[in-house]
């Protein structure tokens, strides 16, 4: 059966197949939330269900669809590679497209980096960065920020600042230690012994959308320089124009030793990852012919990923998507910041470019607060679901809770998103928050219903 025949003849079996062979716990979550849709298409900033309804996709496949879903130019680039029947992955040989991609990425990156190590995913890029830093410095320790997220393979997991991901998978890599995100004194203390290979940090943390104070990242970079520690920016989520600059590090004029990229780099079509490395670090790792293949990955730098990435860069530049992200992000903040004043449950609205979040907290009134606490006792972070559910079911807007047990909703729209959709989201959000605050009992009802549904799904 061809792909189109399969898509047509077995449509509707997604959930059953998932439950049987993939992740039944995910199936339970989807049923509990009523998110068990059959998605039949994606276009630009939207997902399309089997009845043809368009949903504004603010989840963005965890942030891979910067140029929008199924961008025709990225699709064409992949087709071109297939039609050209390129001599892909000769392995004992090199190819043109990944070379051109490296050339273009490095031209867009700060002067501190001069070479590219290809990979296939974000976590693979982070693993490469850890290895390069250790080999380049001859040191073993790696520092990371509390609440950091760098991926879920064992090396990246060892520098993950969230217990819910780490628990049960130990022992993890030795020598990996957390420091507070924003805590320069803590970082200086950890660096003092001179045994730290790298400090790995997201310019804006994905879990919670935590934006650092103005002087934090430049200060951290300076401390690393002085300690002989590599300063590593994980731009897997913040890169590719997400925050209104091609790389978020441009907001602070950083010059890292290593930069990790992935996610949106190939337009969301083909898995991709890359580390941009300083010449010095690169040459300490690949320091002789017998060490030329000391690190790598079979599919790293393959033609399909490189071509999709080159098309993505072309679209970003031609459509000026970094500027657009900055403009749309500013509009979204302008429309949503007033919610902090208008609604007791809204604690903070924050964002950089089109990486945006809203944080909720308990209301002041005693009765409403008791209800909040009842719901939150059931499951911390449940209030956020009281917002995401009506957004999905009543407004056809898909957005995510920004991490385990936190009342933060996050959005990562396509950078091509229309202004009217940003306005629609802001209005729908306010309507939903107003309803949640006006009818606090809905909180309790929702908590009970969700609990019951979860119990039913468990059976």
Ligand X SMILES: Cc1ncc(COP(=O)(O)O)c(C=O)c1O
CB of residue 273 to ligand X, shortest distance in Å: 7
DSSP bridge partners of 200? 144, 232
Burial 38-64 (b: 16+ CB within 10 A, else e): eeeebebbbbbeeeeeebbbbbbeebb
DSSP 8-state assignment for residue 371 = H
Q: In the complex, what is the shortest distance from the CB of residue 335 to ligand X, in angstroms, rounded to a whole number?
A: 26
Q: How far is the CB of 280 from ligand X (least distance, A)?
A: 24
Phi, psi of 409, rounded to the nearest 5 degrees: -105, 140
Shorter beta-carbon distance to ligand X: residue 126 or 315: 126
Query: To the nearest whole angstrom, how small is the minimum distance from the Cβ of residue 270 to ligand X?
Result: 12
Residues 6+ apart with CB under 8 A from 168: none
Which of 55, 144, 149, 299 touches ligand X by CB under 6 A?
149
Q: Decide: is 410 part of the binding site for ligand X (CB under 6 A).
A: no
Among 98, 112, 121, 407, binds ligand X (CB under 6 A): 121
User: Given the complex with ligand X, which of 132 and 433 has the nearer CB atom?
Assistant: 132
Tokens standing for 107? Answer: 């031209």
126 binds ligand X (CB under 6 A): yes
Residues 6 or more apart in contact with residue 287 via CB below 8 angstroms? none
- One-character DSSP codes across 9-21: HSTT-HHHHHHHH
**Identity of the residue, 286 or 299, whose beta carbon is nearer to ligand X in the bound complex:** 299
**Which two three-digit tokens encode residue 193?**
């012994």
Helices (H), 140-209: 154-158, 163-166, 184-191
Residue nearest to ligand X (CB): 122
Region near ligand X per CB under 6 A, out of 50-58, 149-157, 181-189, 225-233: 149-157
Compare residues 148 and 316 and give the one whose CB is closer to ligand X: 148
Which of 197, 272 has the CB closer to ligand X?
Answer: 272
What are the start-end ranges of the H helices in 59-200?
A: 60-63, 72-84, 96-108, 122-137, 154-158, 163-166, 184-191
Minimum distance between the CB of residue 344 and ligand X, rounded to whole angstroms? 31
What's the min distance (Å) between Cβ of 151 and ligand X? 3
Peptide bond into 228 cis (omega under 30): no
90 Cβ contact list (under 8 Å, min separation 6): none
Using CB under 6 A as the binding rule, whether residue 302 contacts ligand X is answered as: no
Instruction: Give me 319's structure tokens.
Output: 């459509």
Closest residue by Cα to residue 422 from 349, 334, 363: 334
Q: Which of 19, 33, 62, 337 binds ligand X (CB under 6 A)?
A: 62
For ligand X, the binding residues in 440-459 under the rule CB under 6 A are none
Contact between 165 and ligand X per CB under 6 A: no
Nearer to ligand X, 159 or 281 (CB): 159
- Residue 177's contacts (CB-CB under 8 Å, 6 or more residues apart) are 141, 142, 143, 144, 190
Q: Which is nearer to ligand X, 245 or 447 (CB)?
A: 245
When the beta carbons of 166 and 424 are compared against ligand X, the nearer one is: 166
Count of residues engaged in binding ligand X, rule: CB under 6 A: 14
* 392 Cα distance to chain centroid: 20
Q: Does 150 interact with ligand X (rule: CB under 6 A)? A: yes
The distance of closest approach from Cβ of residue 239 to ligand X in the complex, given in angstroms and rounded to an integer, is 9
Between CA 31 and CA 37, with CA 32 as vertex, the angle to 5 degrees is 35
Contact partners, residue 88, CB within 8 Å, separation at least 6: 81, 95, 302, 303, 304
Stretches 144-152, 187-195, 222-230, 249-257: which one binds ligand X (CB under 6 A)? 144-152
**Minimum gap (Å) between residue 403 Cβ and ligand X:** 11
C-beta of 123 vs 302, nearer to ligand X: 123
Residue linked to tokens 């209800």:
371
Query: Closer to ligand X at the Cβ: 263 or 324?
Result: 263
Range 350-409, binding ligand X (CB under 6 A): none
Which stretch in 7-15, 31-39, 88-96, 143-151 sits in contact with ligand X by CB under 6 A? Answer: 143-151
Closest CA relative to residue 168, chosen from 181, 183, 157: 157
Among 98, 123, 266, 336, binds ligand X (CB under 6 A): 123
Residues 194-253, interacting with ligand X (CB under 6 A)? 202, 206, 234, 236-237
Given the complex with ligand X, which of 119 and 391 has the nearer CB atom? 119
3-state secondary structure of 149: coil
CA distance 232 to 249: 11
Residues of the shown chain interacting with ligand X in the complex, contacts defined by CB under 6 A: 62, 121-123, 126, 149-151, 202, 206, 234, 236-237, 262
């Amino acid at each position: 059966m061809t792909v189109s025949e399969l898509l047509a003849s077995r449509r509707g079996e997604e959930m059953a197949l998932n439950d049987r062979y993939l992740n039944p716990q995910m199936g339970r979550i989807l049923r509990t939330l009523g998110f068990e849709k059959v998605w039949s298409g994606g276009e630009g900033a939207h997902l399309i269900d089997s009845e043809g309804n368009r949903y504004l996709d603010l989840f963005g496949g965890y942030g891979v669809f910067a140029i929008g879903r199924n961008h025709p130019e990225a699709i064409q680039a992949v087709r071109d590679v297939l039609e050209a029947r390129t001599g892909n992955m000769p392995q004992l040989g090199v190819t043109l497209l990944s070379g051109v991609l490296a050339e273009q990425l490095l031209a867009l990156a700060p002067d501190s980096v001069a070479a590219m190590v290809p990979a296939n995913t974000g976590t693979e890029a982070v693993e490469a960065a850890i290895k390069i830093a250790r080999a380049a410095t001859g040191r073993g320790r790696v520092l990371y920020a509390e609440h950091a997220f760098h991926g879920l393979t064992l090396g990246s997991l060892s520098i993950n600042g969230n217990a819910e991901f780490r628990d049960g998978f130990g022992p993890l890599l030795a020598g990996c230690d957390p420091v507070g995100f924003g805590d320069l004194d803590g970082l200086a203390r950890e660096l003092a012994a001179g045994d730290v290979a790298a400090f790995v940090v997201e310019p804006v943390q994905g879990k919670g959308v935590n934006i650092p104070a103005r002087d934090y990242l430049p200060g951290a970079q300076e401390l690393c320089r002085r300690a002989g520690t590599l300063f590593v920016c994980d731009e897997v989520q913040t890169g590719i124009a997400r925050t209104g600059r091609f790389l978020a590090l441009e907001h602070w004029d950083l010059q890292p030793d290593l930069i990790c990229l992935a996610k949106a780099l190939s337009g969301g079509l083909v898995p991709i990852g890359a580390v941009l490395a300083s010449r010095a670090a690169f040459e300490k790792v690949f320091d002789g012919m017998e060490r030329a293949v000391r690190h790598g990955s079979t599919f790293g730098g393959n033609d399909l990923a490189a071509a999709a990435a080159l098309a993505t860069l072309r679209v970003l530049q031609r459509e000026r998507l970094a500027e657009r992200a900055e403009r749309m992000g500013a509009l979204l903040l302008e429309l949503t910041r007033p919610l902090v004043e208008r609604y007791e449950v809204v604690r903070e609205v924050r964002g950089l470019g089109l990486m945006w979040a809203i944080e909720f907290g308990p209301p002041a009134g005693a009765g409403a607060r008791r209800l909040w606490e009842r719901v939150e006792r059931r499951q911390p972070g449940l209030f956020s679901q009281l917002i995401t559910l009506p957004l999905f079911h009543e407004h056809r807007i898909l957005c995510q809770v920004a991490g385990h047990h936190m009342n933060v909703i996050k959005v990562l729209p396509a950078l091509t998103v229309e202004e009217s959709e940003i306005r629609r989201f802001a209005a729908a959000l306010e309507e939903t928050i107003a309803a949640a605050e006006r009818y606090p009992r809905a909180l309790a009802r929702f908590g009970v219903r969700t609990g019951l549904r979860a119990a039913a799904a468990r059976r």
